[in-house]
């Protein structure tokens, strides 16, 4: 299970990479592995306001459909439209090619509600047992 050190994580298996006042968001390697082959992703819309811990996307796989929750509050300023054509990129590269959206952060203090890589790895390992 891949857990990059430079990211923050939710208990619902979303990741966020904070770059200044913006955040790149997606689902973790653990999540994509649990879902199996991803067949469709309903992405957020440009300009959509996201609230921390609220649903902003849906992922469908051969196993199930799952809601995806926003790790931080903000406004969607970029969407990875490649995922509409190639949702399997999330299975192959959840942290690089398989990102979902870029958000302009409205409350950076919400980062305190997230786990760092070490905490998330321990959390995910407990779930795997």
* Entry pTM: 0.95
Question: pLDDT band at 15, cuts 50/70/90?
Answer: very high
pLDDT in tens, 22-79: 999 999 999 999 999 999 999 999 999 999 999 999 999 998 899 999 999 999 999 9
Q: What gap in Å lies between CA 82 and CA 23, rounded to an integer?
A: 18
Backbone angles phi, psi at 48, to 5 degrees: -65, 135
Tally the C-alpha atoms within 13 A of residue 88's C-alpha that lie toward its C-beta.
Answer: 3
Q: Are 82 and 37 in contact (CB under 8 A)?
A: no
> Which residues lie closer than 8 Å to 86 by C-beta, 6 or more apart?
none
């Amino acid at each position: 299970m891949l857990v990059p050190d430079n990211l923050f994580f939710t208990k619902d298996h979303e990741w966020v990479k904070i770059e200044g006042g913006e955040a790149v968001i997606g689902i973790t390697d653990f999540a994509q592995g649990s879902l199996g082959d991803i067949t469709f992703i309903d992405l957020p819309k440009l300009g959509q306001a996201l609230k921390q811990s609220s649903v902003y996307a849906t992922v469908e796989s051969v196993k199930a459909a799952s809601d995806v929750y926003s790790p931080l509050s903000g406004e969607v300023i970029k969407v990875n439209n490649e995922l509409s054509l190639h949702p399997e990129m999330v299975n192959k590269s959840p942290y690089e090619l398989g990102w979902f959206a870029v958000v302009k952060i409205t409350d950076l203090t919400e980062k305190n509600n997230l786990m760092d890589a070490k905490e998330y790895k321990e959390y995910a390992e407990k779930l795997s047992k």
